[in-house]
Every structure is written in structure tokens, then in C-alpha cells.
Structure 1
């Protein structure tokens, strides 16, 4: 039995594109996270809640993952 070579699905292609864009933009978001961490008074204040801080790398990934989907809208 021989398998035919089919093109990857659209969802698979979008997942690959997402990872490529994430890898390309992550350094910019990392720089932004470092700048946010270094500059005093730039973090949004939370009322009465203790500040649960992520690592700079986690913060950069969170910013990238929240911003990149806008590239796929439309």
C-alpha cells in the first residue's frame, strides 16, 4: 500500500507560521519585557493584589503569544 503525498492541512500550515513569527518577534518582546522591568513605575498597579511576577522570558512569551494572533485575522 502506497501513501500519496498530500499537502499539510491549513491548520498545520498556520501552526508552523505562528511558530516562525513567534521565533522572529520574540527578541523584540524580550527587549520590551526587559525595558519594562528596568524602568521604575512602568508596570500597571494592581489594587490590593500581591504582584505575582513572571520571569522576563515568560513575560516576553506572554506578550508575543497575545499579539501574534492579530497577524492571522482577516
Structure 2
């Protein structure tokens, strides 16, 4: 089956939706990243990111699942 033609307005709309979901989920992942750091005995990754960078990476890896389908 062929994929329907994607217009510019649709792709722009998806970009806006992506940013909105990122803004809504980032605080949740930030709390998760902080709790991960505070957990005793947690493994320390060699190239350690900041808590904010880790939260952003977690959010960016989880959000694409909202656009599958």
C-alpha cells in the first residue's frame, strides 16, 4: 500500500504536536531522572549527562511511540 501524500501543513501540525507532548512529558521524565540519581547503588554511566539532558533523552526516546500508527 502506498503512503498518502503528506502536506506541509500536516507536517507542521505534527511538529507542533511533538513539541507540545515534549513539553508535557519532560517534567515527568525530569522527576524520573532525579529519582534515578538519588537511588542508592544506581550504576553510574561513564559519559554522564546532566539530569536535564538525561530527562530530555528519555522524553525524546519515548515520544515517537505516540506518533506510530
| TM-score bracket for the superposition, by shorter chain length | 0.7 to 0.9
Mapped to 1, the partners of 2:30 and 2:39 lie a distance apart of 14
Dislocated runs of 4+, deviation >4 Å: none
Measure, in 2, the Cα distance between the counterparts of 1:15 and 1:22. 10
| Aligned position for 2:54 | 59
Structure with higher Rg: it is 1
Please report the RMSD computed on the Cα atoms of aligned residues, expressed in angstroms. Answer: 1.8
**Deviations 1:10-29 (CA, angstroms, capped at 9, x unpaired):** 11111000000000010000
Could you list the per-position Cα deviations for residues 16-74 of structure 1 after superposition, in whole angstroms to 9, with x for gaps in the alignment? 0000000001000000000001102333x77xxxx110000000000000000000001
Partner residue, 1:38: 38
Unaligned runs of 5+ in 1: 1-7
Report the TM-score, using the length of structure 1 for normalisation. Answer: 0.77
